[in-house]
A and B are shown apart, each in its own frame.
Chain A
Amino acid sequence: MVPLEAFQVLSAVLFAIGLYGVMARRSAVLIVMSIELMLNAVNINLIAAASHLDGMGNWANFDGQIIAIFIITVAAAEVGLAMAIILRMYRNRATVNVDEINLMKW
């Protein structure tokens, strides 16, 4: 039996990598991928927690899994939207470097 802590560490590491990606990458596509990574880290965490709720590895509680499915659904929609925005951005500015997308800056 893999202990719950292992899943949580994996989740935290994946989340931190995603966060680093969001903050450090310049490319909008990579930022979206990093966000996906963070969402999946959360999913792992939720499912792990759900499977350990009764202390016996049984799928006793479905809440975490249901929320995970919601997150996957929303993430799919979000990726579609994000890619569409990035595509328009590229068509207009010929770049996906977020440092150059600064029209709203003061």
Chain B
Amino acid sequence: MEWAWLIPVLSFAAVPVIIVLGRFLTGKVSHRSAAALAIAAILGGFIVFWFVFAGFLAADTDTPGCETGVGTEALTCNYKLTWFEAGIPDALTDSFDRIHLEWGILVDPLTIAMLGLATFVALMVQIYSLGYMHGDPRLDWYYAFHALFIASMLTLVLADNFLLLYIAWELVGLCSYLLIGFWHERPEPREAAKKAFIVTRIGDVGLLVGILLLWSHVGSFSMLETFAAIEAGELSEGVVTISALLLFLGAMGKSAQFPFHVWLPDAMEGPTPVSALIHAATMVAAGVYLVARAFPIFSESQTALYIVASIGLITALGAATIALVATDLKRILAYSTISHLGLMMLSLGALGYTAAIFHLLAHGFAKALLFLGAGSVMHSTEELDVRKMGGLRKVMPITAILFSIGALSLGGIPILAGFWSKDEILIAVNKELPLIFIVLTLLTALLSALYMARAMFVVFYGKFAEQFEHVHDAPKTMSITMGLLAIFAIVFGLVALDLPGPFKGIGYFIFYHEGHGLEFVIWLAALSIVLAIAAFIYGYMAYARKSVNLEGARQRFALPLKVAEGKYYIDELYQWSIDRVVLSFSRFIAWIDRALVNDVGINGPADVTRLLGHGLRRHVTGYVYSYALAMALGLIGLAILWWIVST
């Protein structure tokens, strides 16, 4: 378990090797070696993960480095090294005026879950990329960025202090920028990459301020020490609430919560495997992970929890409605991700710690599968507008089946993974929050099933679109990885059950305060099953068999439809505020810079000096006798002065 640091380090190590090899090798050899190195690194990480997992299951509080975690009460293992010490070491007090920074790894159930998800999805995505990115001229860079991306994410989940977490956090942001803008020859990916970077950066500022606020009150970046201090009530309630909200601001940016969700749909301009990675395992999972990791801070503040839940619900519902009317296959999936991230945040706000992480995992497998399926469709049809597609199962049956599994899982059809995790969220929301929350959550669940049904039936079923005659199914590298993900999307939910053996089921593994077995509220489960099945049947009739005519509904709800299709005009709002507010303010600042700083502050002294010099140079007459006169007068003056002083 002490070797868990190897998981990210393997991928980190692969990055420079890939780049250097890419310099010396050319063409196919360079591409093959890059892919082989990146995949080998993450495969190594995946293998190490299983050893870590096994070691963790065998460990107890007597194992060196392990103890009962603060807040979670789950087994938490912490291994650290001194990074550096600054200040004057004081032999007597041993603490005075010293900054002691450590870096280390924290292995607890949350970390294990994230490591498993991230290494597995990244491995699948990288193998898939072999087929998808085949022949791309910059494949070596693609794999280098991929390796760096996943290494940063793994560092992020392993970090035992906020400083290391922040470094990894920013690296994740950087890599997403590089990968979203990978095809930077076209303008849209460039713009999307910048948007993703800048929007998440707004949240990152909040995260940084939150970390520093905690540090200024606790005096340590260490998570465990911070949580212990909060548990002991050393921090006032206001500080806890504010720092929780600042951390949440960072999570909102990364996890694309309203109003920072705008970058995620645009990020679809990147290569599809990258979208799969961003949406399932890395970038957006980081925000949910952060809130879960800092849960001892959040759980101390009722206000913070309410805000987390409310933002989550707004995001989940809003994004679900947009997903229902979007016409671009990848964008449907993107809004679906935003909606599900909202559900996870909602669950965390409702103290549903287990449910949120469970849903993160289940959603991760299903969404990676869906994106890889969408990538497969896009790869062979080069089309993303769902209105032009139809009946693709005839030409790409494997993709159709696998995509449908992902859609059904995410839609919440029983025994598939998405059903179990969504059920846990519903239970948590029902238990902790007012009635309106559970009603809206159920509505979101219904919409979620509906848009998944729509995506699946419109693209793969119904009338065959003739122009796709020539289309072929996915190559082996792509279909095998999708198949493996599909297995997880089907069976992963079963970990919710009480299992024999050391693992015992997810409720006993990932928990906050105390473990619990499978919970089941009959009426909620029944309601969610009915809603999901009804949604899929309706979707089948409306989009595949076309036996339900939607035109009437479209005309009756013309206005809300238009608003949702316009994505609630949030992008326009941002554009307006940037044009009107930010740019006006910038012009004002620019004016201050030109008029005050430059003309007065910098040119001013120069002008004064020049004018003075202009006047003063007249005393340099060039006649020797005037200098002699000056010297004589000066001497006489000095003599008079001396005479006055001495008498």
Q: Which B606-637 residues have a C-beta within 8 angstroms of A? A: 617-618, 620-625, 628-629, 632
> Given A98-B623, A99-B623: A106 and B617 within 8 A (CB)?
yes
**Alpha-carbon distance A24/B629, docked complex (angstroms):** 10
- B620 and A23 within 8 A (CB): no
- A48 within 8 A of partner (CB): no
- 1/0 per position for A69-106, CB-CB distance to B under 8 A? 00000000000000000000000000000110110111
- A31 and B624 within 8 A (CB): yes
- A105 and B624 within 8 A (CB): no
- 1/0 per position for B579-622, CB-CB distance to A under 8 A? 00000000000000000000000000000000000000110111
Across the interface, A23 reaches (CB within 8 A) one of B618, B621, B625, namely: B625
- A102 and B623 within 8 A (CB): yes
Q: Which chain A residues border B632 with CB–CB below 8 Å?
A: 19, 23
The total of chain A residues at the interface (CB under 8 A) is 13
B223 to chain A, nearest CB (A): 71
Instruction: Name the residue in A19, A98, A102, A106 with the highest tally of chain B Cβ atoms < 10 Å from its Cβ.
Output: A106
- A106 and B625 within 8 A (CB): no
- A104 and B622 within 8 A (CB): yes
Q: Which chain A residues border B617 with CB–CB below 8 Å?
A: 106
- A49 within 8 A of partner (CB): no
- A106 and B623 within 8 A (CB): no
**Alpha-carbon distance A101/B632, docked complex (angstroms):** 21
Across the interface, A104 reaches (CB within 8 A) one of B620, B625, B628, namely: B620
**Alpha-carbon distance A74/B87, docked complex (angstroms):** 60
**Alpha-carbon distance A23/B625, docked complex (angstroms):** 4
- B625 and A24 within 8 A (CB): yes
Across the interface, B625 reaches (CB within 8 A) one of A22, A101, A102, A105, namely: A22
- A106 and B620 within 8 A (CB): yes
Please report the number of residue pairs spanning A and B whose Cβ atoms sit closer than 8 angstroms: 29
- A23 and B629 within 8 A (CB): yes
A69 to chain B, nearest CB (A): 24
- 1/0 per position for A25-49, CB-CB distance to B under 8 A? 1000001000000000000000000
- B629 and A106 within 8 A (CB): no
- A102 and B622 within 8 A (CB): yes
Q: Which chain B residues border A22 with CB–CB below 8 Å?
A: 624-625, 628
A25 to chain B: closest residue by CB: B625
- A106 and B618 within 8 A (CB): yes
- A23 and B622 within 8 A (CB): no
Q: Which chain B residues border A19 with CB–CB below 8 Å?
A: 628, 632
Q: Which chain A residues border B623 with CB–CB below 8 Å?
A: 98-99, 102
**Alpha-carbon distance A31/B627, docked complex (angstroms):** 13
A68 to chain B, nearest CB (A): 20
**Alpha-carbon distance A104/B617, docked complex (angstroms):** 11
- 1/0 per position for B89-123, CB-CB distance to A under 8 A? 00000000000000000000000000000000000
B109 to chain A, nearest CB (A): 84
B195 to chain A, nearest CB (A): 61
A72 to chain B, nearest CB (A): 22
**Alpha-carbon distance A101/B624, docked complex (angstroms):** 9
A36 to chain B, nearest CB (A): 15
**Alpha-carbon distance A24/B628, docked complex (angstroms):** 9
**Alpha-carbon distance A2/B563, docked complex (angstroms):** 119
B483 to chain A, nearest CB (A): 90
A60 to chain B, nearest CB (A): 25
- B620 and A105 within 8 A (CB): yes
B613 to chain A: closest residue by CB: A106
- B628 and A105 within 8 A (CB): no
Q: Which chain A residues border B620 with CB–CB below 8 Å?
A: 104-106
**Alpha-carbon distance A106/B628, docked complex (angstroms):** 18
A98 to chain B: closest residue by CB: B624
- B629 and A105 within 8 A (CB): no
B618 to chain A: closest residue by CB: A106
B617 to chain A, nearest CB (A): 4
Q: Which chain A residues border B625 with CB–CB below 8 Å?
A: 22-25, 98
**Alpha-carbon distance A99/B624, docked complex (angstroms):** 7
Instruction: Name the residue in A23, A98, A99, A104 with the highest tally of chain B Cβ atoms < 10 Å from its Cβ.
Output: A23
Q: Which chain B residues border A106 with CB–CB below 8 Å?
A: 617-618, 620, 622
Q: Which chain A residues border B618 with CB–CB below 8 Å?
A: 106
Q: Which chain B residues border A23 with CB–CB below 8 Å?
A: 625, 628-629, 632
Q: Which chain A residues border B622 with CB–CB below 8 Å?
A: 102, 104-106
**Alpha-carbon distance A104/B632, docked complex (angstroms):** 21
Q: Which B26-50 residues have a C-beta within 8 angstroms of A? A: none
- 1/0 per position for B263-306, CB-CB distance to A under 8 A? 00000000000000000000000000000000000000000000
Q: Which chain B residues border A105 with CB–CB below 8 Å?
A: 620-622
A38 to chain B, nearest CB (A): 10
A97 to chain B: closest residue by CB: B624
**Alpha-carbon distance A22/B635, docked complex (angstroms):** 14
A12 to chain B, nearest CB (A): 12
**Alpha-carbon distance A45/B209, docked complex (angstroms):** 80
- Considering the complex of A and B, which 9 residue pairs feature the smallest CB-CB distances, nearest first? A105-B622, A102-B622, A106-B617, A98-B624, A23-B625, A22-B628, A23-B628, A106-B620, A23-B629
29 A–B pairs (Cβ distance < 8 Å), ordered by A: A19-B628, A19-B632, A22-B624, A22-B625, A22-B628, A23-B625, A23-B628, A23-B629, A23-B632, A24-B625, A25-B625, A31-B624, A98-B623, A98-B624, A98-B625, A99-B623, A99-B624, A101-B624, A102-B622, A102-B623, A104-B620, A104-B622, A105-B620, A105-B621, A105-B622, A106-B617, A106-B618, A106-B620, A106-B622
